Structure 1
Amino acid sequence: MKKTTLPIILLTTLFFLWGFAHNLDPILIPHLKRSFTLSTVQATLVDSAVFIAYFIMALPAGFLIRKYGYKGGIITGLIIFAAGCFLFIPAANTQQYMFFLVALFIIACGLTTLETAANPYMTVIGDPETASTRLNFAQSFNGLATTLAPIIGAKVILTKTYSDNVLNAMTPVARKAALAAEASSVKMPYFILGVILVVIAICFYFSKLPVITHKADNDEKRSAHIFQVLRYKHVSWGVAAQFFYVGAQVCVFSLFILYATTSAKISEVQAAYYLSAGGFAFLTGRFIGTALMKFIAAEKLLCLYAAINVILCAGAIWCHGLVTVYIVIAICFFMSIMFPTIFALGIRDLGADTEFGSSLIIMSIVGGAIIPRFFGYLSDQTGNVQNGYFIPLACFVVVMLFGLTGHKVIRKAGIKELPVSNVY
């Protein structure tokens, strides 16, 4: 137990840090939209830059971890993450929106590498029976970041040097220069974050972490290529479930303000406060879900929570007034355990193929770039944003089926428990 205490503490800090970085993106979108006078479509390229990186980088990250181990993957991810943060300084200095997108893409490459390494490492570093519990506990700190990042980011980044009246009185050239200058407010927070990441990378480098060796019998070898892992039913189901879950989560959080202002007829500021409440519900759900897993099997709790969210999505479609906002906050609560639980169940008993399975499930996060488009399309075509919730409803049905039957492992002969070797 003592051998794994420090590694679990260090790993948990990573879950908070990448959650913090992700939840600064909703702050960056309106900030950069104003600073560079962007259209809504142009502003959403922030999310596109992030989720495309997950799709592109997940496989290389898996190969890197397979060759250099979890520790090597974590340190590499931290360095890439830090490099992207430091790039915000020249991005602000040059006042080029594309430069910001490149910096975000590099940050997301680091996050992809970190998540590909840290998620499976957390599941195999201790008792296999409590893997989902450990991962949900660590992901609870990701939920804490979901609550804190928007508050801190709003105070530090969402600064307006010039009022709208002053800007309107400027010439177009002067107005463009003034707005672009406001983008410089991102330099200090991202510089500080980059320094913290470098310090944590150094801590990992000098820490003695358990080496996880994935051994198989002579008649059981690693898959020749990554997509052979999809022969496992629970892996292919896990990839699908994570794809649809992340898509649903992005729909709920990213489009919350648009939904609330329409369904409940409240202001954007009021909607933002309710969004913070949704983040707190998400955090609370993680801790409560982790506690419940001591008494309820992870797959059963996942199935139950997904079924509840299917019903809540129906309420989000057909109800009216402020109750719709409370319904979406409840959806946030019941989404809380889904990502880590799907991940842990999706890579269960993979043995030597754990890194490959992890890469594919991380790669499926690209659902966050695709699913919300359907939400928007359905909302636009029907003229009612509430109808967009048919999309998350369908996504939660897939998650429910994964918890009901898709998680079941078809064991391959020869796979044994994964030993923890000596530290290095």
Structure 2
Amino acid sequence: MANITEPLAVNENGQQPIARNTFALTSLTTLFFMWGFITCLNDILIPYLKGMFSLNYTQAMLVQFCFFGAYFVMSIPAGKLVSKIGYQFGIVVGLVVAALGCALFYPAAEAHLYELFLLALFVLASGITILQVSANPYVSVLGPAKTASSRLTMTQAFNSLGTTVAPLLGGWLILSEVSQATAEQVKFPYLMLSLSLLVLAVVFSFLKLPKLGKTSDTPVENQPLDGFVDLGSVWQYRHLILGAVGIFVYVGAEVAIGSFLVGFLTLDDIAGLSEQQAAHYISYYFAGAMIGRFAGAAIMQKLNAAKVLACHGILAMVLVFTAMTGQGALAMWAILLVGLCNSIMFPTIFSLALQGLGKYTSQGSGILCLAIVGGAIIPLLQGVLADNVGVQLALVLPIGCYLYITYFALFGAKATTQTRP
């Protein structure tokens, strides 16, 4: 295996070595698992902090606002950072910053201040933003452009594995004693996460991975496709801009639904569960995404990624509408099955939007990660709706999000379907 300081080797056909790519992709899956686990813990923190600080839904959604707001603030700087230091060292920096954010939960719990929890979440999310900017395009360029959606979907499946495990563990560690209204239960989980992230940072600093991420290291597969003219700006790519909006509404919809699942399932007309019982059902929501991503990684080797995305968008709209207008088990399982529809959306939108950007790939990734701020804005708006019209009717907002995703799949991503002879 070549030293990390050497440029990425190619064989006589100009292709990247399969064994080396496989090792790199395997290493990256640990990151996808970790940030999926951390992100999903927010869905456990929301009802916990809501009860502890007597918050309304709008105030409780500040958890997601601060967490995903960090993507808006940090994505462009992260993209510039990665373009200078490369994907691997960007991953190391991201892990260290995320570890610091997790460690800040301890003083926040000691001080018993909601504002300090929000600060800790912002720092934690800043680290994950750097990880997103580094790891997502890393996966995209480690192989042929035509299978980028499939590779990213596969690694995102491990992200979903983290989101599936987190509600079970988080519900047991945090929500099990929510009635006591203390902050003690968050200390141990987040200190362990901080230690784990630091260990990963050390490991990734020594791993010998392909040197990618700097402008001069962009592989041939990711140079601009035929039909695209390099005008000197990443903003020239229409499919990137439309894809960024797609990421905005997708993350917003997924986070909003996940954030309100506990509140939704505790409604008497839906399931009437306790908060701890409802927390376990969040795992079903994210398990659907995990299963769908594993299946989608294989399906999109054969089928057009944009068409698969459109089908998932339409089905998601139907399921959310059923949850919004139905009752009992029908409404409960309809909203949980939306996770299956979410499965391939993020990696597919992300890879379609990045295709053909060439030397602007890291900047494009920064823009797409900036759009993850939808996870801050849309849940907050849904919180306002929930305070005024109720948790169930507030689901009208995600329906609009999935409508746009369907539009992007059918029309906005067309420019990225071109392939080189």
Which residue identity lines up with residue 403 of structure 1 in the other structure? A
The question of 1:95 aligning with 2:139 is answered: no
Alpha-carbon distance, 1:416 to partner: 8.7
Aligned to 1:309: 316
**Alignment partner of 2:148 out of 131, 138, 143:** 131
Preserved contact between residue 247 and residue 370 of structure 1 (Cα < 8 Å): yes
Alpha-carbon distance, 1:386 to partner: 3.2
Preserved contact between residue 351 and residue 416 of structure 1 (Cα < 8 Å): no
The question of 1:192 aligning with 2:192 is answered: yes
Matches for 1:176-191 after TM superposition, within 5 Å: 179=181, 182-191=182-191
The structure-2 alpha-carbon separation of the partners of 1:321 and 1:126, relative to structure 1 and needing over 3 Å to count, comes to same
Aligned mates of 2:365, 2:306 — CA distance in 1: 18
CA offsets 1:259-280 (integer angstroms, 9 cap, x no match)? 3325425233454443332222
Gaps of 5+ in 1: 165-178, 418-424
Aligned mates of 2:387, 2:22 — CA distance in 1: 50
CA offsets 1:70-95 (integer angstroms, 9 cap, x no match)? 11211110110111112222222333
Gaps of 5+ in 2: 1-17
TM-score scaled by structure 2? 0.86
Aligned mates of 1:346, 1:22 — CA distance in 2: 23
Aligned mates of 1:96, 1:129 — CA distance in 2: 49
**Alignment partner of 2:38 out of 10, 13, 21:** 21
**Alignment partner of 2:251 out of 221, 243, 246:** 246
Which residue identity lines up with residue 330 of structure 1 in the other structure? L
The structure-2 alpha-carbon separation of the partners of 1:47 and 1:410, relative to structure 1 and needing over 3 Å to count, comes to closer
Aligned mates of 1:71, 1:208 — CA distance in 2: 9
The structure-2 alpha-carbon separation of the partners of 1:159 and 1:320, relative to structure 1 and needing over 3 Å to count, comes to closer
**Alignment partner of 1:104 out of 121, 135, 154:** 121
Aligned to 1:75: 92
Please state whether the residue corresponding to 1:266 is helix, strand or coil.
coil
Please state whether the residue corresponding to 1:77 is helix, strand or coil.
helix
Preserved contact between residue 61 and residue 379 of structure 2 (Cα < 8 Å): no
Which residue identity lines up with residue 18 of structure 1 in the other structure? W
The structure-2 alpha-carbon separation of the partners of 1:246 and 1:410, relative to structure 1 and needing over 3 Å to count, comes to closer
The structure-2 alpha-carbon separation of the partners of 1:92 and 1:256, relative to structure 1 and needing over 3 Å to count, comes to closer
Matches for 1:116-195 after TM superposition, within 5 Å: 116-160=133-177, 179=181, 182-195=182-195
The structure-2 alpha-carbon separation of the partners of 1:262 and 1:365, relative to structure 1 and needing over 3 Å to count, comes to farther
Aligned mates of 1:158, 1:245 — CA distance in 2: 27
Preserved contact between residue 306 and residue 334 of structure 1 (Cα < 8 Å): yes
The structure-2 alpha-carbon separation of the partners of 1:38 and 1:397, relative to structure 1 and needing over 3 Å to count, comes to closer
Please state whether the residue corresponding to 1:160 is helix, strand or coil.
helix
Preserved contact between residue 233 and residue 410 of structure 1 (Cα < 8 Å): no
Aligned to 2:218: 214
Matches for 1:28-39 after TM superposition, within 5 Å: 28-39=45-56
Aligned mates of 1:15, 1:305 — CA distance in 2: 22
Aligned to 1:168: none
Preserved contact between residue 83 and residue 194 of structure 1 (Cα < 8 Å): yes
Preserved contact between residue 74 and residue 118 of structure 1 (Cα < 8 Å): yes
Aligned to 1:55: 72
The structure-2 alpha-carbon separation of the partners of 1:201 and 1:229, relative to structure 1 and needing over 3 Å to count, comes to same
**Alignment partner of 2:234 out of 226, 229, 235:** 229
Which residue identity lines up with residue 280 of structure 1 in the other structure? A
Preserved contact between residue 240 and residue 364 of structure 1 (Cα < 8 Å): yes
Aligned to 2:360: 353
Preserved contact between residue 263 and residue 322 of structure 1 (Cα < 8 Å): no
Aligned mates of 1:90, 1:376 — CA distance in 2: 28
The structure-2 alpha-carbon separation of the partners of 1:21 and 1:211, relative to structure 1 and needing over 3 Å to count, comes to same
Which residue identity lines up with residue 334 of structure 1 in the other structure? C
Which residue identity lines up with residue 144 of structure 1 in the other structure? L
Aligned-residue RMSD, C-alpha:
2.6
Aligned residues: 392
Aligned mates of 1:343, 1:93 — CA distance in 2: 39
* Larger Rg belongs to: 1
Percent identity among equivalent residues? 40
CA offsets 1:221-257 (integer angstroms, 9 cap, x no match)? 9775xxx423211101100111111111122211123
Alpha-carbon distance, 1:129 to partner: 1.9
Preserved contact between residue 100 and residue 124 of structure 2 (Cα < 8 Å): yes
The structure-2 alpha-carbon separation of the partners of 1:222 and 1:263, relative to structure 1 and needing over 3 Å to count, comes to farther
Matches for 1:376-395 after TM superposition, within 5 Å: 376-379=383-386, 381=388, 383-395=389-401
Alpha-carbon distance, 1:214 to partner: 2.3
Aligned to 2:412: 406
CA offsets 1:345-402 (integer angstroms, 9 cap, x no match)? 1101100000111111111111112223443444555x35433232211111111111
